[in-house]
Chain A
Amino acid sequence: MVEAQPDRVTMRLLVIEDDRDAADYLVKAFREVGHIADAAHDGEDGLAMALHGQYDVLIVDRMLPKRDGLSVIGTLRGKGIETPALILSALGQVDDRVKGLRAGGDDYLPKPYSFAELLARTEVLSRRRGGRAEETVLRVGDLELDRLSHEVHRGKDAITLQPREFRLLEYLMQHAGQVVTRTMLLENVWDYHFDPQTNVIDVHISRLRSKIDKGFSQPLLHTIRGAGYMIRDGAR
């Protein structure tokens, strides 16, 4: 169901998860979409592998035998290893999330999760380090967003956006070429960690789409079925 993306870069991943079925499933699923994934089944093994292997992202279960997931991340950070870590947890509450991020985790995903969500978040994490966070002007195709003057242009046309639409487009463009899920948008653009009963994000996206894509032959904002959205220069 997850479509292969043309500009997907191969990641090296370490999955630290004590449930072997879940770990195997993740390793297999990551390999299917073209990434390299290893698995560790307890905290000590996971820590040793994370210390010696060259990984782009760690996927760490919160509750692990021998050594707790948060302690694994804390120890790595203590040794100056900054490999991005995504915490998986059966405890999906807001304060658990805060605890996880405080312990040095970079993202947090409550179980049960969809693989599409996990993949999207992992890819965003792997590119964060070399990311576009510091650029002042973001460009995708002929769409240009100036983060200082808050101006948006498509070709020669100026586009007027509401502040929240601007934040939405900014987030999408920061992660151009990557799948961004609805939950990620809700968390990063609206700062909400709950699940609105109706899918309000879709409506916001279609509004944004009508502003930036309407009247242009080449659409930039794509819906990725079963996963989320992606802004991408389709001409490439």
Chain B
Amino acid sequence: MTALGKLFRTTTFKLTLVYLTVFALFAAFLLGYFAFNTRRLITEQITDTVNAEITGLSEQYRLGGIRRLVIAVDARARRPGSSLYLVTTFTGEALAGNVTALSPGILDNPGWTETAYRRLDEADDHRDHEALVRVFQLSGGFRLLVGRDLEERDRLYHIVLDAGRWSIAIVVVLGLAGGLFVTRRVLRRVDAMTETTRTIMGGDLSGRLPVAGTGDELDRLAENLNVMLERIEALMHGLKEVSDNIAHDLKTPLTRLRNRSEQALRAAGNEQEYRAALEATIEESDNLIATFNALLMIARAESGQARDNMKEFDATEIAHDICELYEPLAEQKGIKLKVEADGATPVSGNRELISQALANLVDNAIKYAPPKPGEINGVPPEIVVRAFKEGDKILLSVADRGPGIPEADRGRAVERFVRLEQSRSQPGSGLGLSLASAVARLHGGELTLEDNQPGLKSIIALPRGGPLQNAG
């Protein structure tokens, strides 16, 4: 596509053409109307003047006969810029007047006619003029002709017509030039954007669309696209980080798995040892699968796919259900697990995911509880799960009396795969808090970790749902 072809194909240029046509047609109509009316007006003026003269002259004739008429016509004909006059006998012989060389037969038809003529006082002018004349039959066979030159009318008419042609020509030329100018400007900016887009598509996500700073629609578009690019870049960055982490945290157990199998092949002497090695392998791969599932779950929550399954339910119900699930486990470890709730806590969200997030928090609280009851500061181990309202949020909190997380580490603890030093010995994928955090963010909320003095308080904030049907 040539540069010019590209120019002609743009929306701006096509719009320019449409507007140009509309304006040109409008101008033509306006000037045409003006020209037509001017001509009509002048013609009317001429007929009025001629009629008045005829009335005046026939009055002279009536008062003083042909002599008086001839004197009057002679007097009038001599005035500068006068009308055209001719008085003839019934045979056509001129008695007085200032015109000659009329079209033949004019005098035989009383009434209005347009005719060529020549003034008597400009004898050597060969050019014929046009005039609008009226022939009036006087009593006694005399004929009176009065007329006005049409040159003025035609000149004016032509001036208007010429003005029309010129203005249309100017409109078209200026319009086209302006259109081309605007189109080229827009095209240049679009081209710049296209260029940037190409480099971005080429893999350089740091590129941004140029913003001219004029605040026009192209700027707004560019700004929005830039925000989108920023988001994409952040997501891509996150994705890269995740894949690095996945590579690291899946490869470690995979290496262990492989080493163990090799070890068994090399050293196992009897069936029992093979069996033990295989069982360990299966267990390790089960852990891998669990890690993998947790990762997928987080990815799904973060991509917002789980938004389809949103329902209204009571967060207190979830707190009770999860505590009921974990209560025997807590009891086994000598921990008291209790639920505190006040009133209805309606939440709109994915029940399964929120349950899982809360389960992870409770699981963590139990897992990191001191091995012997009452060991930390003599405070009896107790885990309190609370569901309550705060502003327009519904909070689900899990407070334990475990070792807690130092303030400096709290932000990091929520990240994927981060397992703080003291927890390395505990089983788990290190994804529990990340999942809880991803679930909270999916619902437009957040996961925060606080000091429970002593212990850890994890809080999932969720947006409040509508009133529950069975609220009570």
The answer to whether the Cβ of B363 comes within 8 Å of any Cβ in the partner chain is yes
The residue on B at minimum CB distance from A197 is B363
The docked-state distance in angstroms from the alpha carbon of A95 to that of B306 is 8
Contacts of B282 in A (CB 8 A): 114
Which residues does chain A contribute within 8 Å of B289, judged by CB atoms? 112
Interface assignment of B360: CB less than 8 Å from any CB of chain A:
yes
Residue contact A194 to B355, C-beta cutoff 8 Å: yes
Residue B428 interfacial (CB < 8 Å): yes
Whether B290 lies near A194 (C-beta < 8 A) is no
- In angstroms, Cα B297 to Cα A110, docked, is 13
A 184-236 contacts with B by CB, 8 A = 190, 192-198, 200, 203-204, 206-207
- Among B286, B325, B328, the residue within 8 A (CB) of A196 is B325
In the assembled complex, the CB of A73 is this many whole angstroms from the nearest CB of chain B, namely: 22
Q: Are A204 and B328 in contact (CB under 8 A)?
A: yes
Task: Please measure, in the bound complex, the distance between the C-alpha atom of A198 and the C-alpha atom of B356, giving whole angstroms.
Answer: 12
Residues of chain A lying within 8 A (CB to CB) of residue B321: 190
Given contacts A112-B289, A164-B324, contact A196 B363 (CB under 8 A): yes
Point out the residues of chain B lying under 8 angstroms from A112, CB to CB. Answer: 285, 289
- Confirm or deny: B39 has a beta carbon within 8 angstroms of a beta carbon on chain A: no
Interface: A2 (CB within 8 A): no
Cα–Cα distance between A95 and B303 once the two chains are bound (Å): 15
Residue contact B293 to A92, C-beta cutoff 8 Å: yes
Residue in contact with B428 in the complex, picked from A92, A197, A203, A207, CB distance below 8 Å: A197
- Among B286, B326, B328, B363, the residue within 8 A (CB) of A207 is B328
For the complex, is B15 an interface residue (Cβ under 8 Å from A)? Answer: no
Please measure, in the bound complex, the distance between the C-alpha atom of A198 and the C-alpha atom of B328, giving whole angstroms: 12
Are B360 and A200 in contact, CB atoms less than 8 angstroms apart? no
Report the Cα distance A204→B285, complex, angstroms: 25
Q: In the complex, are the beta carbons of B325 and A198 less than 8 A apart?
A: no
Complex-state Cα separation, A194 to B290, whole angstroms: 10
A93 CB-CB contact with B under 8 Å: yes
- Please, which residues of chain A bring their CB within 8 A of the CB of B324? 164
- A124 CB to nearest chain B CB (Å): 21
Residues of B within 8 A of A203 (CB): 328-329, 332
Is B407 at the interface (CB under 8 A from chain A)? no
Nearest-Cβ distance from residue A114 to partner chain B, whole angstroms: 8
**What's the dominant secondary structure at chain B's contact region?**
helix
Given A95, A192, A198, A204, which contacts B363 in the complex, CB threshold below 8 Å?
A198
Judge if A48 is at the interface, Cβ distance under 8 Å: no
Within 8 A of B (CB), among A48-80: none
| In contact, B352 and A194 (Cβ under 8 angstroms) | yes
Known: A92-B296, A94-B352, A194-B356. A200 touches B308 (CB 8 A): no
> Which of B356, B428, B429 gathers most chain A CB within 10 Å?
B356
Contacting residues, chain A, for B384 (C-beta < 8 A): none
* Smallest beta-carbon distance B284→chain A, Å: 13
Tell whether, in the assembled complex, residue A197 and residue B360 are in contact, meaning their CB atoms are under 8 Å apart: yes
Chain B residue, CB-CB nearest to A204: B328
Give the docked Cα–Cα distance between A191 and B95 (Å): 127
A200 near B325: Cβ-Cβ < 8 Å: yes
Identity of the chain B residue whose Cβ is nearest the Cβ of A110 in the assembled complex = B293
Residues in B neighbouring A164, C-beta threshold 8 A: 324
Q: Could you list 6 further interchain pairs (A-B, Cβ under 8 angstroms) beyond the known A95-B309, A195-B290?
A: A92-B293, A194-B356, A197-B290, A200-B328, A203-B332, A204-B328
Q: Which residues of B contact A (CB under 8 A)?
A: 279, 282, 285-286, 289-290, 293, 296-297, 300, 306, 308-309, 321, 324-326, 328-329, 332, 352, 355-356, 359-360, 363, 366-367, 427-429, 432
What are the 5 A-B residue pairs with the smallest beta carbon separation, nearest first? A203-B328, A194-B356, A203-B329, A197-B363, A200-B329
